[in-house]
Amino acid sequence: MHTFTIGANDAGQRADKFLLKACPKLPKSLLYKTFRKKDVKCNGKRIPAETFLAEGDTVQVYLPDEFFVSAKKTITSTHLPLPEIIYEDANILLMKKPVNLPVHADDKGSSDTLQGRFLQYLAGSGAYDPTQEQSFTPALCNRLDRNTEGFVIGAKTAAALRCVNEMIRENHVVKQYFCITAGIPPKQHDTVYAYHRREEGKMAEIAEMPREGFREICTEYDMLQKHDDLALLLVTLHTGRTHQIRAQMAALGCPVLGDNRYGDRRVNQKYGEAHQLLAACRLHFDVPHEGHLLSALYGKNFGYTPDFCSKYGFYI
């Protein structure tokens, strides 16, 4: 038998999900067999797998101890640069990701990631002690492509992670981007509805009409300035699909400058741009003044103007 005491960062999740994280050596099939045999108890009472746990609960699992021996968590990297921190409170960290830094490890094998910098910073500041956590690791709540710069939200606690993820799903986190397009959009302002599909390892596809396997997307843009064959856009995402802005702008005939995947390589070479001029540089949390986990963010708006704007004569 093995006993767990549920801490603050373990609470609020199902018993089976907690045990799968806390016991990486415990086979999933064996865990669910143990639940079916009623050999998992919480506070002395047998529980089903879908039981939600609360802080202070005592969970007992009637299996040999060999399944519960696991290496203590550690921060593997202690030499990474510090993340550029825009805002921090007890729940979240708002960071600015530079171009060419992956959010998580990717197929290029970089040992330097924003997630790594985030965890290293939290461990160094004392906000996160991996040796004391049974199932939780602080995590990033949104992703950006390696060559897209901008704001990324890091959750310091399990409650904050659930809260921010729910807000993103319910469109209570407003994310806006600046981009320069090679070509002028068809309208000064538009809210474009389309259908999107992206299979692993392939480019995103955009369709104007519903198609099997495609999901609806909504992309709003304002053309702030234009000159020659370039335009500066403020893009507001109302859905968040992989490569949504890059694929949608290309479908409108004005791909993001520097985007060699969805744009025109000859145009990009003409301007000497090797990566997309796209920045997630406006962020607003729609939270009430009181009674919300993230109420400290009430009334706060975060923003900056990316350097590529002035490079091409766009001044905000």
Q: What is the per-residue pLDDT across 234-269, written as a single tens digit (0 to 9) for each? A: 999 999 899 999 999 999 999 999 999 999 999 999
Closest alpha carbon to 298 in 281, 284, 279: 284
- Judge if 179 and 273 occupy the same domain: yes
- Judge if 53 and 91 occupy the same domain: no
Write down which residue in 170, 195, 230 finishes a domain.
170
Q: What is the pLDDT of residue 200?
A: 83
Asked whether residue 315 is assigned to any structural domain, the reply reads no
Render pLDDT for 37-75 as a digit per residue (tens, 0 to 9): 999 999 999 999 999 999 999 999 999 888 886 545 666
- Judge if 158 and 236 occupy the same domain: no
- Judge if 187 and 253 occupy the same domain: yes
Q: What is the pTM of this model?
A: 0.89
Report how many domains make up the chain. 3
Asked whether residue 33 is assigned to any structural domain, the reply reads yes
Asked whether residue 179 is assigned to any structural domain, the reply reads yes
Task: Report d(CA 166, CA 83) in Å as an integer.
Answer: 25
Residues 24-34: what's their mean pLDDT?
92
Asked whether residue 91 is assigned to any structural domain, the reply reads yes
- Judge if 120 and 191 occupy the same domain: no
The DSSP bridge partners found for residue 218 are 193
- Judge if 166 and 179 occupy the same domain: no
Asked whether residue 103 is assigned to any structural domain, the reply reads yes
- Judge if 192 and 216 occupy the same domain: yes
In sequence order, what are the residues at sequence separation of 6 or more whose Cβ sits closer than 8 angstroms to the Cβ of residue 234?
176, 177, 178, 221, 222, 224, 282
Question: CATH number, domain at 32?
Answer: 3.10.290.10
Q: What is the pLDDT of residue 91?
A: 96
| Contact criterion met (CB below 8 Å) for 135 and 10 | yes
- Judge if 134 and 193 occupy the same domain: no
Asked whether residue 286 is assigned to any structural domain, the reply reads no
- Judge if 124 and 197 occupy the same domain: no
Secondary structure (DSSP) of 113-158:
-HHHHHHHHHHHHTS--GGG-SS---EES----TT-EEEEEEESSH
In sequence order, what are the residues at sequence separation of 6 or more whose Cβ sits closer than 8 angstroms to the Cβ of residue 161?
138, 139, 141, 155
- Judge if 186 and 133 occupy the same domain: no
Residue 78 binned pLDDT confidence (cut-offs 50, 70, 90): low
Q: What is the pLDDT of residue 15?
A: 96
Write down which residue in 122, 144, 170 finishes a domain.
170
Write down which residue in 36, 68, 100 finishes a domain.
68
Asked whether residue 299 is assigned to any structural domain, the reply reads no
Closest alpha carbon to 306 in 181, 183, 178: 178
Closest alpha carbon to 92 in 247, 267, 294, 245: 294
Question: CATH number, domain at 149?
Answer: 3.30.2350.10
Provide the 10 A C-beta neighbour count for residue 43. 12
SS3 87: strand
Render pLDDT for 157-213 as a digit per residue (tens, 0 to 9): 999 999 999 999 999 999 999 999 999 999 999 999 999 999 888 899 999 999 999
Using a pLDDT cut of 70, give the percent of the chain over it. 97
Render pLDDT for 90-119 as a digit per residue (tens, 0 to 9): 999 999 999 999 999 877 767 899 999 999
Domain that holds residue 181: 175-281
- Judge if 39 and 60 occupy the same domain: yes
Closest alpha carbon to 223 in 237, 206, 235: 235
Asked whether residue 316 is assigned to any structural domain, the reply reads no
- Judge if 16 and 63 occupy the same domain: yes
